[in-house]
Chains A and B, each alone.
Chain A
Amino acid sequence: MSISLTTLVGREMSLRWITALHAVFIVAAAVAMVLLAEQFAAASENATRRIQRDIGLNIVILPPQTDLDAWWIDRLPTGSMPEAWIERLEDQDVANRLVPMLVARVAVGDAEIILTGIGSERFKRGNAMKPVFGRSIEPGNVVLGALAGKVTGAREGEPLVIKSRSFTVERILEPTGSEEDVRCWMTLPDAQSLLQLEGRLNEIRAIECHCSEDVQDPLEAIRTELEPIVPGAGIVRMNALADARRAQRQMAERFIEYAIPPLLALAGVIIAALAFMNVRERRNEMGVLLAHGYRRSTVASVVLSRSFMIGLVGAVIGWVFAVVIGDSVITSIIGSGKPPRLDSTLLLATIFSTPILCALAALYPAIMAAMVDPARLMRLP
């Protein structure tokens, strides 16, 4: 071939740039929507985790001595339980995540705050999962809720003395309008040391308990499962809203799961239709190439290469579009925090697969182009 395929395709696209641009935009829109949907799903999952965490989680396991009536009033456990229980609880099937805590009301100057020592998140049967409690607190540091920060007069980076011991204020959180605002978070060992309760806990939060879907009395089922492991422990379920949120998230995920394939199929059909129209418009050109001795496979590759190039350009534009506007769009939808970054593997897969899918969409038009009868050129008036 005396003229390169790139020249033929590139020049043709530059002449008929409006139709080429349409195709590129369709591909770009499809790619951006797929990437944004994936990013939205991940962001939605994270947001739901945060919501579940913030509303008090699914189950709270309290020490056997706890007076549940009193706990419901002031949310402060009485008594304590061995820290080793958290390890025993890993060997159960009710809760995916377990968070050990030591909670107590303490005075700081004239103010009172809820001191909350929090240990590392544990996962059911040692599974590897993404933690829901965000970044960890450094030993010797505290993170204060908005009101706790206000009443103690604390400032970020400065020391705060609690029960005669100095801690550094790592961060003061934004107001949430919940009991979290009066909490003072620190590491579990710091709290145990401060309260002289080494090796003890008084609250275990069990997250993502899943027995409520088909069980008549979920709380009873959970108690039955956990009783042999933590005998006598108080078990409180607080997950009605969390379940609703999770169901909502699952619905959103299912929607995305079902919406993406038809979306891609629709984009494929449009690409194929545009390629088809392009070939119809260019039958004479194909005939000229065939009449001059070009192979039918070469003529087909002109059409396939055009679609491949459209796919490549469209994928890059869609990728850039998703990266540039993804954060702001998803943040405005989810309404909290910075969404997770797009998975680099997904990005690469999109860039590589889109041109191939576009070329496949143009397969029939390419075959049609290769089958053009060059004799028609001489029959033209």
Chain B
Amino acid sequence: MNTPTPQNTSILELRKATMSWPRPGGGRITAVHSLDLAVQAADLGVIRGPSGSGKTTLLLLAGGLLQPHTGSRIGTPRVGFIFQTLELLPYLDVRQNVRLGLTEKGGEDDVEQLLEELGLTERADHRPHQLSTGECQRTATARALASRPALLLADEPTGNLDPENALIVLRALDGLVQRGGAVLVATHGSIEGLNPTRQFTMDSGSLSESGNTP
């Protein structure tokens, strides 16, 4: 697949981004507070933090699905998503679900290559209800990669996966990074087999970078 963007280039920045949600009893809960983040090409970042710490809100802001109440989002990279709940369309088969990631016509060869890379060729004509959890996760990963994203946002991409399936998914994410794409992974624990270049911690809406891994 083609390299989306050159390396060492900032493809997205969040500057002093703040986001809050309405509180059921009145008032608001601040999910992300004055957050700064610069994502560069070929970054493989992991954002760790407990549930409710603001990881998902950060991914939404980074993906442009939310606009910060204050602060700004700079850059409009092509974004791919791997949702925690996968959200495969139940009436489409694996191949069609992956093709759904193509927002333009063409790219059929890329789809077939992705199916092969993620070990889904044999299951390409199956529907989601005929797949295992691992196969569904791999399909969602292939769909996110099909759009040739410059930035891939993954929410718990290996949650509930056995080591073998987790490895296939992580290898695919690593492949994107090798081609110059950036990946941000949100998780509440650790991900075996992932070698991030950057590590973040989210705590009560604040983001801190704990160090780079070469």
Residues B89 and A288 in contact, CB atoms below 8 Å apart = yes
- Complex CA gap A16/B89 in Å reads 12
Number of chain B residues whose Cβ lies closer than 8 Å to a Cβ of chain A? 30
Those of B49-106 within 8 Å (CB) of chain A: 56, 59-60, 63, 65-66, 78, 80-81, 83-85, 87, 89-92, 96, 99-106
Residues A293 and B65 in contact, CB atoms below 8 Å apart = no
Residues A3 and B99 in contact, CB atoms below 8 Å apart = yes
Asked if B119 is an interface residue, CB under 8 A from chain A, the answer is no
Asked if A133 is an interface residue, CB under 8 A from chain B, the answer is no
- Determine the residue in chain B with the shortest Cβ distance to A285: B89
Interface residues on A, range: 20 to 34
With beta carbons under 8 angstroms apart, the residue of B78, B81, B89 that contacts A291 is: B81
- A2/B100 contact (C-beta < 8 A), A14-B91, A291-B65 known: yes
- A292/B101 contact (C-beta < 8 A), A14-B91, A378-B155 known: yes
- Complex CA gap A291/B59 in Å reads 12
With beta carbons under 8 angstroms apart, the residue of A2, A7, A285, A294 that contacts B107 is: A2
With beta carbons under 8 angstroms apart, the residue of B83, B84, B105 that contacts A2 is: B105
Asked if A159 is an interface residue, CB under 8 A from chain B, the answer is no
- Determine the residue in chain A with the shortest Cβ distance to B59: A378
- A15/B103 contact (C-beta < 8 A), A291-B65, A374-B65 known: no
With beta carbons under 8 angstroms apart, the residue of B65, B89, B100, B143 that contacts A375 is: B65
Residues A3 and B85 in contact, CB atoms below 8 Å apart = no
- Determine the residue in chain A with the shortest Cβ distance to B100: A3
- A288/B65 contact (C-beta < 8 A), A378-B83, A379-B56 known: no
By CB atoms of chain B within 10 A, which of A7, A284, A374, A381 has the most? A374
Residues A380 and B96 in contact, CB atoms below 8 Å apart = no
Q: How far is the CB of B157 from chain A (nearest CB, A)?
A: 13
- A284/B66 contact (C-beta < 8 A), A2-B105, A291-B81, A292-B103 known: no
Asked if A244 is an interface residue, CB under 8 A from chain B, the answer is no
Asked if A227 is an interface residue, CB under 8 A from chain B, the answer is no
Asked if B141 is an interface residue, CB under 8 A from chain A, the answer is no
Asked if A12 is an interface residue, CB under 8 A from chain B, the answer is yes
With beta carbons under 8 angstroms apart, the residue of A3, A12, A292, A381 that contacts B81 is: A292
Residues A2 and B91 in contact, CB atoms below 8 Å apart = no
Asked if B147 is an interface residue, CB under 8 A from chain A, the answer is yes
- Complex CA gap A288/B83 in Å reads 9
Residues A292 and B96 in contact, CB atoms below 8 Å apart = no
- Determine the residue in chain B with the shortest Cβ distance to A378: B56
- A12/B91 contact (C-beta < 8 A), A292-B101, A294-B103, A378-B60 known: yes
Of the A-B pairs whose beta carbons lie under 8 Å apart in the complex, a sample of 10, sorted by A's number, is: A2-B105, A3-B96, A285-B87, A285-B89, A289-B100, A291-B63, A377-B83, A377-B85, A379-B56, A380-B83
On B, residues with C-beta under 8 Å from A are: 56, 59-60, 63, 65-66, 78, 80-81, 83-85, 87, 89-92, 96, 99-107, 143, 147, 155
Given contacts A2-B101, A2-B103, A377-B87, 16 further A-B contacts (CB under 8 A): A2-B99, A2-B102, A2-B106, A7-B96, A8-B92, A15-B90, A16-B91, A288-B87, A291-B81, A292-B81, A292-B100, A293-B78, A293-B103, A378-B59, A378-B81, A380-B85
Across the A-B interface, the 8 shortest Cβ-Cβ residue pairs = A2-B102, A15-B91, A11-B91, A375-B65, A293-B103, A288-B87, A375-B60, A2-B99
